[in-house]
Structure 1
Amino acid sequence: MKKVYCIGELLIDFVAENQGNDLAKAEVFTKKPGGAPANVACAIAKLGGLSKFIGCVGEDQFGSFLLGVLEDNHVDISLAQRSKNFTTLAFVSIAEDGERDFVFSRGADKKLKYDSKIKKSFQNNIVHLGAATALLGGDLEDAYGRYFFDALTQNAFISFDPNFRSDLWKGDENIFVKKCMPFVQKAHLCKFSLEEARLISGKVNLEECCEFLHEVGTKVITITLGGEGTLLSTETTKHTIPSIPVNPVDTTGAGDAFIGCLLYQIAGLHDPLEILENIDLLIDFVKIANKAGALTTTNFGAIPSLPNLEQLLAIE
């Protein structure tokens, strides 16, 4: 089993209770662990995989809580860092259909320092880059880019998820797209939402989105489509793979559960790069990953809702 290094933010989600998709009306919030790369690390570990988290939290009670959650979920936190800055917070409201509204208060996540000693550990393993806050400047963006280069030079299998958050990029969407491009060009696998695929490609039609992204350099594209499943695209073929029917209550973490489950399966291969040439196996992997994403939407909170292997295998 290959190790999966998940790089990016770990934060507190304060989830608004008993209201629709409008933070202005929220009065009561519940504390939940969050952050897309941390969610992915937990998704992998809960299924029995080997995941390591690379990110930064504050030297405060929230930071201790978050690292404790990762440990409880069997994620290796030996590469995590702590900062005197407060732990990053996200305030989240959830509508009846499970869709979310975000407001961020950034803190320690941006203080991640590059560690050159990690480089050789990437060799022949998997590196997953989640970009929710990683492209906003500062130490994190510098470290993120350098770890990306290290992954390229160490023959790692590279996974990229732009994790676009409109609240963070209002009016600067073109800058976000420009910063994503080097990762889209070089990653072996890119996971997009429908919104992200259209934003980064500049196209509306899904086939044109994929055509553009493949021309840029992406080998394998997955575009999650909610209840409609996932569009899987390679340079030679496209398949829309259905999901399973569920009644969603919170879509937070569904995409992270999907990509985490997909990477968990790829990590079980002798050489993760072989998945690029085996479309039938890739289709099977996406079918299972769709189940993980769907199951995660049936409970509140990202990490607590991630399925374990027994729960996943119980679904036909």
Structure 2
Amino acid sequence: MKEVFCIGEVLIDFVAEKQGSDLSQAREFTKKAGGAPANVACAVAKLGGKSAFIGCVGNDPFGTFLLNVLENEGVDISLTQRSEIFTTLAFVSIAEDGERDFVFSRGADKELKYSPGIKKKFNKNIIHFGAATALLGGSLEEAYGRFLFDALTQETFISFDPNFRADLWKNKTEIFIKKSMPFIEKSALCKFSLEEAKLISGKENISEACEFFHEAGTEIITITLGSEGTFVSCQGHSRIIPSISVKPVDTTGAGDAFIGCLLKQLSSIDSIESIKSNPDLLFEMIAIANKAGAITTMNYGAIKSLPSQTQLDQ
């Protein structure tokens, strides 16, 4: 089984449950572990895969809490760094229908330093770049780019999720698009939301957006469509894979559960390259990943709600 390395932010989500999607009206918050790349690492581990998280937390109680959560979920935290900068925080308010409003208070995640000793660990494994905060500058962005180069030299299967957050890129969307493109060009697999696909490609039509990404270099494209499922495009084959019907209470982490489940399945096959010539197998994997995403929306908090293999089978 291949190991899945997830690079990016881990943070504290202070969540206001059932208090509407207007954060200014929220009064009570619950502390939860979050951060898209960390969620993906936990999704892989909870399904029985091998995952490692590469990121930075503060040398404070919140940082310790996050590392404990990752380790308890079975994620390798030996490559995680600590900083004297305070741990990154996010404040989230969630309405009854699962819709969210959130803001970030950025801290230690941006302090991740490049480590050349990790390079050989990537060899013929999988690396996932979750970019919510990684393209905002600082040593994290530099490390991000250098890890991408390392992956390219190590026959690593590269996955990328741009994780666009409007609150972080106010009046700077063109910069976000420009910084995302090198990762899209070099990744074998890209996971987009419909909003991200349209924003980055500049296309309103989903097929035209996929054509744009394929021409850029991505071989496998997934575009999540919420309750409608996922649009998949690979090697001239494309279709919408439906999801399962659930009543969502919190959509946080659904996309991370989806890509984590897909990467876990890819890590379990002998030759990932073979998936590109076998679209039916890829479509089957996407259907299973859709279930993981849907199940995650049925409870509050991303990591706590990620399904185990038993839950997925049921």
Query: TM bucket by the smaller chain?
Result: over 0.9
CA contact 2:20–2:94 (8 Å) conserved in 1: yes
Q: State the Cα distance separating 1:210 from its structure 2 match.
A: 0.8
Structure 1: distance between partners of 2:277 and 2:139? 36
Note if contact 2:54-2:79 (Cα within 8 Å) is conserved in structure 1.
yes
SS in 1 for 2:133: coil
Deviation at 1:230, TM superposition (A): 0.3
Match of 1:195 in 2: 195
- The structural deviation recorded for 1:96 is 2.3
- The CA distance in 2 between the partners of 1:278 and 1:93, in whole Å, is 42
SS across alignment from 2:239: strand
**Alignment of structure 1 residues 1-316 onto 2, 5 Å:** 1-314=1-314
Give the secondary-structure state (helix, strand or coil) at the position aligned to 2:243. Answer: coil
How far did residue 271 of structure 1 move?
Answer: 2.2
- Equivalent residues of 1:197, 1:223 under 8 A apart: yes
Q: What is the TM-score when the length of structure 2 is the normalising length?
A: 0.99
Gaps of 5+ in 2: none
Q: Percent identity?
A: 69
Equivalent-residue separation in structure 1 for 2:157 and 2:169 (angstroms): 28
Secondary structure of the residue aligned to 1:77 is coil
Distance 2:121 2:213 in 1: 29
1:292 positional shift: 0.2
- C-alpha distance in 2 between matches for 1:17 and 1:295: 18
**Conserved 8 A contact 1:229-1:240:** yes
CA distance in 2: counterparts of 1:17 and 1:155, whole angstroms: 43
Deviations 1:155-205 (A, max 9, x none): 000000001000000100000000000000110000000000001100111
Q: 1:87, 1:216 → 2: CA distance?
A: 35
Alpha-carbon distance, 1:19 to partner: 1.2
Cα 1:250–1:266 change in 2 (3 A) is same
Q: Which amino acid aligns with 2:139?
A: D
Distance apart, 1:208 and its partner CA: 1.0
Residues 123, 155 of structure 1: 8 Å contact kept:
yes
Cα distance per residue 1:143-163 (max 9 Å; x no partner)? 000001100110000000001
Paired positions, count: 314
CA RMSD in angstroms comes to 0.7
Question: What is the CA-CA distance between 1:94 and the residue it aligns to?
Answer: 1.3
Q: Equivalents in 2 of 1:142, 1:27: separation in Å? A: 38
After superposition, the C-alpha distances for 1:238-287 in whole angstroms (9 at most, x for unaligned) are: 11000000000000000000000000000001122222222111001001
CA distance in 1, matches of 2:131, 2:306: 20
Shift of 1:95: 2.1
- In the TM superposition, residue 98 of structure 1 has moved relative to its aligned partner by 1.0
Q: CA deviation at 1:234?
A: 1.4
Shift of 1:93: 1.1
Structure 1 stretches of 4+ moved >4 Å: none
Q: Distance in 1 between matches of 2:277 and 2:53?
A: 28
C-alpha distance in structure 2 between counterparts of 1:55 and 1:260, whole Å: 17
After superposition, the C-alpha distances for 1:194-241 in whole angstroms (9 at most, x for unaligned) are 000001100111111111111111100000000000000114011100
C-alpha separation in 2, matches of 1:184 and 1:147: 15
The answer as to whether partners of 2:12 and 2:31 remain within 8 angstroms in 1 is yes
The 1-side partners of 2:272 and 2:64 are apart by: 33
* Kept after mapping to 2: 8 A contact 1:214/1:235: no
1:116 CA drift (Å): 0.1
- 2:127 and 2:158 in contact (8 A); partners too: yes
Tell me how far apart the structure 2 counterparts of residues 95 and 233 of structure 1 sit (CA, whole Å): 33
